[in-house]
Amino acid sequence: MDYMLGSDFVMLLNQYEMTGNSARFDCTAVVLVLDTIHNMSYTRRDIKPNSILLDALLKMAGDKAPALKMMALDRPFKVGMLYDYKTDRLIPNMLLWDENLISNYLTCHSSSSRTYEVHINNNLTELEYLFGIDNNLKLSILAGLVDLPGSNNLIDYCQRIKHTERFILQYSITTHSDELEIRHFRKSDVKHQDLFHQQVATHVVTDVFYGIEIFLVFNRKLSDNENRTELHNSVKELLKKLKTLPISDIGQLHLSNGEKQLAETLTCQYYGDIQLKSNPTSFIEAIELLRQLPNLLGKNNENTKPIKVLLYPLYLLDDFATAKKRFHEINNHILSKSVELMTSLHELVISLSDIKSNLSSLKIFYQTEQQLSRICTRMSEIETDMRKEMVKLLPEVRGTSLQEKSLTDLLEKFNFSLSTKQKLNDWIQFKTEEKNIFTSFINDLRKQDNINLLTLPFAEVRKSFNYKFILRLVIHVTEENDTFLNELLQYLEDYSKRDHDTNIKINRWFNQNNLALIQKQITLFIKFAEINVNKNNIVFVVDEEDINKFQRKTGVTTILYQNGVPMNFEIPSRPGRPHVTDNSCQNTTLSWTKPAQGSENIQQYMIYGRNHLNRHWKLLFTTLNDTPSVVISNLEEGKYRFKIQGITLAGYTEESDASDTIG
């Protein structure tokens, strides 16, 4: 039979950059495929170059040319099993041919293929590349048609843990493969003849490649003074060292002192196809796992799993050409757009959930957490709605019941307007910054053991505190009825609205001046609690309130409760440094300035002195009122230094700086 290159095939070749030798090779492969098909009495007219998959793994064989290569993703593939391309699911408990017949034409090939890769970037797209997932399967995963158990939980893990530097070491071993020679089968061999005319399945599994894949995820926190690029290069070189040794010798890996120090800073998380007695948590334990890996496969590779498979279309098995092609391969551009939209939506949900989870761990920010819950709930509802519609729509489009336009209509429906996208991204960025500030506040407050962070509203717990005094620090930066949030939620109720901008802006309360003032107040509160830690008549609490309860002012406020009755109370700062205004032979007059903040709450002052011969400070005098001066009589001879401490209704203030030496 003579062949000439048709216009369709020429156009196909022009879509790719290839050398002359490569083009001649591919043309020859196509000719061989078509020739084999004709020799097998296939008289179909719809076989075109763009429907033939050229792949080295398929050996350019005519009986495998239309096969679909797919990653197993922990699914229990076996040769002869049926697969539904429309739903991306295996058909359980049903084989196309009799098991005895399958065993007659089954060939098992041994293999010792090993791949070792180190990855730094770990966004969703690159992780799915790691697993060999194409857009079609990726969309099924995002829609929920295909689950990701086992080692594939790595994708979900890496999306959720966003605040550390991650390095992924992928180790893949292919041990053997099962190949079914389908050219020996005829239509009469099929157990269920009606499969050709039903919507039950579209493909049959012809090849299964077995092995294992493990992923060692090394996490490393980046300190403020570290260079990200240098860290990436250092860790990558460290992990690549593992590749230089045979796996049996990997326990003898030689590391420099610097590499050992770097290795000690890495934590390890294991994801893999083999169940371990205990998972590695450090670099050293990861090395030990790699050393033992050949033994973990099992004596006869019984611990291996399907890694990838080849699927053959059922309609090409019909010798009499009565079966129809009952599946449609969606345009890759539409697939890419679908994956992009679902991925971005999922990442938004993950980001919001991440912020909310971090706030929950801080305990006290229930007002802000409620705000986030409203957005999280709505975004999760949108994602769920899109998944439900995609799960219903994908099989119908793949099964030719619906046109691809129905898929583009769905994308249009769930695609946010530009204005809504911008508002949502701005708000998430704002909440991320806010969460980081809150974390800094709480980290400081937690250092003082006698400060109680309230996990419930103060009104619900105040009666449970059996103290004469309650000193309460209230953080009020969040508005329950936030106008920007309400507008954003309104957009999300009808997320396909076209752009319409408003002048409503985010209340970015943490400007430089306001943040400095808040931090100062928190520091005073912590210091006051520390100084009065041994007082048994007072308790220190911190909680969050709506800004509307504080005249819409953002900041922090301290409130003192005496026997349950609230009163205004500003924690005084330290008094001014004392100095001598008169020093006679018997009397010494000291003066100082009142605290710059909260002086109205000072009732008395305590004066401490220290003789140059004595290391310890001694209480010399307590004033009767808040007058910032005192006359001290009958001091023993010698040189002295003095300092002042204020007394308030609730406790003592911070001490002043010591005076110059007098005498």
Question: What whole-number distance in Å separates Cα of residue 160 and Cα of residue 152?
Answer: 14
- Write down the residue that tokens 């495998």 correspond to: 64
Please name which of 364, 510, 502 lies closest in space to residue 430, comparing C-alpha atoms.
510
Q: What is the pLDDT of residue 604?
A: 98
Neighbour count for residue 123 (Cβ, 10 Å) = 11
Q: Token digits for 310?
A: 């080849």
How many DSSP H helices and E strands does the chain contain?
16, 19
Q: What is the DSSP string of 595-609?
A: PSSSGGG--EEEEEE
For the domain spanning 579-647, the CATH number is 2.60.40.10
Q: What is the pLDDT of residue 248?
A: 56
222-275 pLDDT tens trace: 666 677 788 888 888 888 777 666 655 555 677 888 888 888 989 998 888 888
Neighbour count for residue 361 (Cβ, 10 Å) = 9
- Write down the residue that tokens 């489009």 correspond to: 397
**CA 385, 389, 390: angle at the middle one, nearest 5?**
115
Q: What is the pLDDT of residue 216?
A: 87
Q: What is the pLDDT of residue 545?
A: 94
Secondary structure string (H, E, C) spanning 135-183: HHHHHHHHHCCCCCCHHHHHHHHHHHCCCCEEEEEEEEEEEEEEEECHH
Q: What is the pLDDT of residue 19?
A: 39
Look at strands 305-313 and 68-71 and give their pairing: antiparallel
Instruction: Give the residue ranges of the chain where pLDDT is below 70.
Output: 1-65, 120-131, 148-164, 196, 222-225, 243-252, 318-323, 495-502
Q: What is the pLDDT of residue 298?
A: 85
93-131 pLDDT tens trace: 888 888 999 999 999 998 877 777 777 655 555 566 666
**C-beta separation of 177 from 108 below 8 A:** yes
Domain positions in the chain are 1-65, 67-317, 334-466+477-511, 579-647
**C-beta separation of 138 from 71 below 8 A:** no
Q: What is the pLDDT of residue 393?
A: 94
Question: What whole-number distance in Å separates Cα of residue 247 and Cα of residue 245?
Answer: 6
